[in-house]
A and B are shown apart, each in its own frame.
Chain A
């Protein structure tokens, strides 16, 4: 199979099916205080220790919006190349649940703060543009614990009122792989912007997944089901696979799909309906009378635009241009801002080819082994740059460099100090090298004779023996030159 072509189709009894997916991503805004109150938003704090009278929905409390959250929504909108709406409206989305003390969630329904935009994915079969439908601001709900007591539910309202950006994609995704790339790209854009930390383990990034299926070639959308609150890329992929199969089986049996909300059971690896039909939600949206419309002028947007950092797509293009990297190398570096920063720290003053190879080769492997991120790297970019310079100016060989690198992982010491201390400096003195070479040739007289009678392959053996004799310190290029002369 050609992996350069899109090929995610599911074969059923009646033919090939295509999966159509749209995502509603909920991204927590990285703010100090909540969207409409001045309580803290820190994850993992003592239960109900970050709850104000507003968050607990005490009668008579009035919400006041956090300006920083508005700026973050606009910034994210700009990162998605989206239309920013200078007028937007907050609505009440009414539903009854114990971790929603207001009895409604303040959200934006008809007039979101951000309109249509796009995200570009790099897939093995080329780039693909995923449309963004909208981004709006809303409140997060509290947390319910159902497993503490057989008859009771425990409620923690610390999360109640934390600002969320809901980012709704168009139904442009066609496979679990595209969903994974989309989430990663969105997360990387928000991390570059600093608007959301994208930490899925802590729930600051989660998604509702809309799935439908249709026959390959069909232009009409099938009936979709919404899988609520999936909190890891792996689970999203599993839920889509299960749900697509379920829908195809129903349709091939001549049955209809009910448009419904389902949940993904991660233990059983299946989706199932969340609530019965007669309980289907009726949110009765209406503009929140406590909150006048949100208006700002274009200069507010322009001010934010001026301060935007370089975004992943632009950075990739620049890295390819400035450092002559391949698209693959640049892609690996930009997926994480810390990685590309680390690389640029080194490459701006050192050999680029060596820099890229050491960062995405040896350093990645070492970090992987010790389970650390590049930000926590035991080797600073400054010291790795010094090591690369030592190779480049022939002070040490590549082989010795690997030894030094291993030592640096333990203590981030200056490689120059390690090299001097251990006497690892590359031997480039022709006289010294000649002495070693003479010795090796003398000890291997028989091989010299074989070589001279035409066994060219033995040249590698001589080089290897000389390097070994020098305990790895001999300059390989010089050894080559001298050996050639001696053996001719």
Chain B
């Protein structure tokens, strides 16, 4: 797998991060060298190994089905760029 300018363009669009042309060139180089480093793992034969999602032995801890947070809207909406009648307001997004 290798990364070119188009890959950077696609990823930056999906992440909604704008990247300049100069940055793109640098990122192509950086990401390719990271991938190359990781690709060393391919030398190992993993045919008979079950893929794992986590390397730690931890399992999920669980909570009881209890409501502990009661109406924090003042606190929450403090972070809104714009608000109106207790709603977050954002530029119109409609698909």
Query: Which A residues have a C-beta under 8 Å from some C-beta of B?
Result: 31-33, 37-40, 46-53, 56, 58, 64-70, 89, 94, 96-98, 111, 144-146, 148-157, 274-275, 282, 284, 287, 289, 291-295
Query: In the bound complex, what is the Cα–Cα distance between A152 and B92 (angstroms)?
Result: 4
Other A-B pairs beyond A51-B73, A293-B53, 5, CB < 8 Å: A33-B65, A48-B76, A152-B90, A155-B90, A282-B14
Query: Do B71 and A50 touch (CB < 8 A)?
Result: yes
Query: Do A39 and B54 touch (CB < 8 A)?
Result: no
Nearest-CB residue, chain B, relative to A67: B62
Identify which of B61, B63, B66, B94 gathers the most chain A CB atoms within 10 Å of its CB: B63
Query: Do B79 and A58 touch (CB < 8 A)?
Result: yes
Query: Do B87 and A156 touch (CB < 8 A)?
Result: yes
Query: Do B64 and A67 touch (CB < 8 A)?
Result: yes
When distances are taken between beta carbons in the complex, the residues of chain B under 8 Å from A97 are: 93
Query: Do B67 and A38 touch (CB < 8 A)?
Result: yes
Query: Do A49 and B73 touch (CB < 8 A)?
Result: yes
12 A-B pairs with CB atoms under 8 Å apart are: A33-B66, A49-B71, A56-B79, A70-B62, A148-B87, A152-B89, A154-B85, A155-B89, A157-B76, A157-B88, A287-B53, A292-B59
Query: In the bound complex, what is the Cα–Cα distance between A463 and B9 (angstroms)?
Result: 92
Which of B58, B63, B79 meets A65, CB within 8 Å? B63
B86 at the interface (CB under 8 A from A): yes
Which of A38, A98, A284 meets B93, CB within 8 Å? A98
Which of A37, A68, A146 meets B92, CB within 8 Å? A146
Query: Do A292 and B76 touch (CB < 8 A)?
Result: no
Nearest-CB residue, chain A, relative to B65: A68
Binary interface encoding of chain B residues 17-45 relative to chain A, with 1 for a CB under 8 A from any of its CBs, else 0: 00000000000000000000000000000
B95 at the interface (CB under 8 A from A): yes
Nearest-CB residue, chain A, relative to B15: A96
B68 at the interface (CB under 8 A from A): yes
Give, as a whole number of angstroms, the nearest-CB distance from A75 to chain B.
13
The number of chain B residues with a CB under 8 A from chain A is 40
Query: Do A294 and B87 touch (CB < 8 A)?
Result: no
Query: Do B67 and A48 touch (CB < 8 A)?
Result: no
Query: In the bound complex, what is the Cα–Cα distance between A380 and B95 (angstroms)?
Result: 50
CB within 8 Å for A96 and B87 given contacts A33-B63, A33-B65, A293-B60: no
When distances are taken between beta carbons in the complex, the residues of chain B under 8 Å from A53 are: 72, 75-76
Identify which of B54, B59, B69, B90 gathers the most chain A CB atoms within 10 Å of its CB: B69
Query: Do B65 and A274 touch (CB < 8 A)?
Result: no
B16 at the interface (CB under 8 A from A): yes
How many pairs of A and B residues are in contact by the CB < 8 Å rule? Answer: 137
- 4 A-B pairs with the lowest CB-CB distances in the bound complex, closest first: A68-B65, A287-B53, A38-B68, A67-B62
Query: In the bound complex, what is the Cα–Cα distance between A67 and B76 (angstroms)?
Result: 26
When distances are taken between beta carbons in the complex, the residues of chain B under 8 Å from A52 are: 69, 72, 76
Query: Do B73 and A48 touch (CB < 8 A)?
Result: yes
When distances are taken between beta carbons in the complex, the residues of chain B under 8 Å from A69 are: 65
When distances are taken between beta carbons in the complex, the residues of chain B under 8 Å from A149 are: 89, 92
Query: In the bound complex, what is the Cα–Cα distance between A32 and B65 (angstroms)?
Result: 6
Chain B interface SS verdict (over half): loop
CB within 8 Å for A152 and B91 given contacts A66-B65, A67-B64, A292-B59: yes
When distances are taken between beta carbons in the complex, the residues of chain A under 8 Å from B79 are: 56, 58
Nearest-CB residue, chain A, relative to B71: A49
B70 at the interface (CB under 8 A from A): yes
Query: Do A38 and B63 touch (CB < 8 A)?
Result: yes
Which of B10, B85, B93 meets A144, CB within 8 Å? B93
Query: Do A39 and B93 touch (CB < 8 A)?
Result: no
Query: In the bound complex, what is the Cα–Cα distance between A89 and B50 (angstroms)?
Result: 14
Give, as a whole number of angstroms, the nearest-CB distance from A259 to chain B.
18
Query: Do A146 and B94 touch (CB < 8 A)?
Result: yes
When distances are taken between beta carbons in the complex, the residues of chain B under 8 Å from A68 are: 64-65
B77 at the interface (CB under 8 A from A): yes
Query: In the bound complex, what is the Cα–Cα distance between A274 and B95 (angstroms)?
Result: 6
Give, as a whole number of angstroms, the nearest-CB distance from A68 to chain B.
3
CB within 8 Å for A32 and B66 given contacts A157-B88, A291-B60: yes
Query: Do B87 and A155 touch (CB < 8 A)?
Result: yes
When distances are taken between beta carbons in the complex, the residues of chain A under 8 Å from B89 are: 149, 152-155
Query: Do B73 and A96 touch (CB < 8 A)?
Result: no
Query: In the bound complex, what is the Cα–Cα distance between A38 and B68 (angstroms)?
Result: 5
Which of A48, A89, A96, A295 meets B14, CB within 8 Å? A96
B2 at the interface (CB under 8 A from A): no
B46 at the interface (CB under 8 A from A): no
CB within 8 Å for A154 and B67 given contacts A51-B73, A56-B79, A275-B95: no
Query: Do B63 and A64 touch (CB < 8 A)?
Result: yes
CB within 8 Å for A39 and B69 given contacts A153-B92, A292-B56, A293-B54: yes
Query: Do B67 and A33 touch (CB < 8 A)?
Result: yes
Query: Do A40 and B70 touch (CB < 8 A)?
Result: yes
Query: Do A48 and B94 touch (CB < 8 A)?
Result: no
CB within 8 Å for A295 and B60 given contacts A51-B72, A284-B14: yes
Query: In the bound complex, what is the Cα–Cα distance between A53 and B71 (angstroms)?
Result: 11
When distances are taken between beta carbons in the complex, the residues of chain B under 8 Å from A154 are: 84-85, 87-89
When distances are taken between beta carbons in the complex, the residues of chain B under 8 Å from A37 are: 69
Give, as a whole number of angstroms, the nearest-CB distance from A80 to chain B.
22
CB within 8 Å for A145 and B87 given contacts A48-B73, A53-B76: yes
Query: Do A151 and B54 touch (CB < 8 A)?
Result: no
